[in-house]
Amino acid sequence: MTASTAPVWTPPPRPAWFKATAAYQQPDARRATWQLANTFLPYLAIWAAAIYVLRRGYPYWATLPLLLVGAGLQVRVFILFHDCTHGSFFPSQALNKVVGYLCGFLTLTPYEDWRHAHAVHHATVSDLDRRGTGDIWTMTVREYLDAPRRVRLAYRVFRHPLITFGLGPTLIFAFVSRTPRAGSRPQDRLSVYLTDLAILAMLALAYVTIGLGTFAAIYLPMLVLSGAAGVWLFYVQHQFESAYWARHERWDPMRAALEGSSFYRLPKALQWFTGSIGFHHVHHVRARIPNYRLQACYEAFTELQECRTLTLASSVRSMWLDLWDEDQGKLVSFGSLRTRLTAA
């Protein structure tokens, strides 16, 4: 059979249970409103308490517990933003957009720009031939070995935990997101400019009220901590040893959702702060399920419970998995690659 007459591979049909998961997509205005209240009221209280501590002349370290909780709340704000970009938080799409923009202002993230990149991520997750938008830079072993030395060095620096989860998120949220991406759509560019204007307005308000020094002392630590936590959550739920990856001609979107995304089993307090995003495989099966229905959907289908489960302890290993090995069908570390090359 010649290449021109070879049958084109198509992924298997969606499983029978998939249709029933649609029942969990319905947004609930009351639950969404309650989430806004139980997120933003404590967030504002943290700001008020931190300002009071600093104004009263207490040592800066006295604010650190407050800022840690504030960073957790900022992660939760981002999850609400994330739901709005999927149109799943409120039944009203206009309200999703308004709330999404406001949450984006607080987290320095342009709504339309991030929404588009994230939609690409959902459409291409685990597809080796469509990497590069809305995801974390991941090279295959062959690509890494064939790359020029400067590219290999850049990749190793980028994948170092201090960069990936430390300096990198802060740079992305504070600086990279301030300019439109090359080739972005008009509405994406507009959202970047509106977010930049909102940031300037926040800085101006801080200047005439609490002062830029106090603002920076409170906001910057929360930005660094929440950015690191947010990138870690996104990273670990796709970058684990047995994660599914495939070339486009053999890519199965359902396997990408169920096997290319993990279930991150977190303690209840952390599940609350992270808006149940640990049920990430459920989110990729049905992206329009709001965060407050993800657990119920997971518990309703045994098929969703037969997934790769990570815990806080087991997820640490993912920090050192850097390259996709197409021969072994798993993510590997630089160290294991070096050992294999030395043995060969």
Residue type for position 249: E
Is residue 15 a part of any domain in this protein? no
- Burial (CB count <10 Å: 0-12, 13-18, 19+), residue 342: exposed
Number of domains in the chain: 1
pLDDT at res. 341:
82
Confidence check: pLDDT of 92 > 80? yes
Residue 87 backbone zone (phi > 0: left; psi -120 to 50: alpha; other: beta): left
Query: Is it the case that residue 4 has pLDDT exceeding 60?
Result: no
The reported pTM is 0.93
Tell me which amino acid residue 18 is: F
Identify which of 2, 17, 108, 12 has the alpha carbon closest to the alpha carbon of residue 301: 17
Percent of the chain with pLDDT over 70: 98
Contacts of 119 (CB under 8 A, 6+ apart): 85, 134
Residue 166 within any structural domain of the chain? yes
* Whether pLDDT at 151 is above 90: yes
- Please answer whether residues 75 and 226 qualify as being in contact, where contact means their C-beta atoms are separated by less than 8 angstroms: yes
Dihedral sign, CA of 248, 252, 256, 259?
A: negative
Q: Is residue 132 part of a domain?
A: yes
- Dist CA 290 CA 80 (whole Å): 9
pLDDT of residue 340: 86
Give me the chain's average pLDDT, please: 94
Strand-pair category, 309-310 with 323-325: unpaired
Report yes or no: 331 and 322 within 8 Å, Cβ to Cβ.
Answer: yes
Torsion of CA 36, 176, 118, 284, to 10 degrees: -80
- Segment 72-88 shows an average pLDDT of 98
At residue 239 the predicted structure's pLDDT band, cuts being 50, 70 and 90, is very high
319 pLDDT above the threshold of 60: yes
| Domain assignment present for 3 | no
Angstrom distance (rounded) from CA 15 to CA 7: 23
pLDDT digits (tens, 9 = 90+) for 105-147: 999 999 999 999 999 999 999 999 999 888 899 999 999 999 9
Is the pLDDT confidence value at 344 over 80? no
CA distance 254 to 13: 9
What are 20-56's pLDDT values in tens digits? 999 999 999 999 999 999 999 999 999 999 999 999 9
Backbone angles phi, psi at 263, to 5 degrees: -100, 115
CA distance 44 to 19: 41
Q: How many CA atoms lie within 13 A of 76 on its CB side?
A: 23
Is there a contact between 107 and 40 (Cβ–Cβ < 8 Å)? no
**324 backbone dihedrals φ, ψ, rounded to 5°:** -90, 120
- Are 125 and 238 in contact by the 8 Å Cβ rule? The answer is yes
Which of the four pLDDT bands, split at 50, 70 and 90, describes residue 71? very high
pLDDT at 159 over 80: yes
- Domain presence at residue 11: no
pLDDT at 11: 81
Residue 334 belongs to some domain of the structure: yes
Q: How far is CA 206 from CA 234, 250, 264, in A?
A: 31, 53, 37
State the maximum Cα–Cα separation within the chain, in Å, rounded to a whole number: 81
- In this structure, the chain runs to a length of 344
Axis crossing angle, helix 93-106 with helix 186-208, rounded to the nearest 10: 50
Return the bridge partners of 37, or none: none
pLDDT reported for residue 315: 93
Which residues are bridge partners to 13 per DSSP?
none
Q: Which domain holds residue 273?
A: 26-343
Instruction: Give residue 158's pLDDT band: very low, low, confident or very high (50, 70, 90).
Output: very high
In whole angstroms, give the CA distance from residue 17 to residue 267.
28
Closest CA to 192 of 121, 95, 115, 119: 115
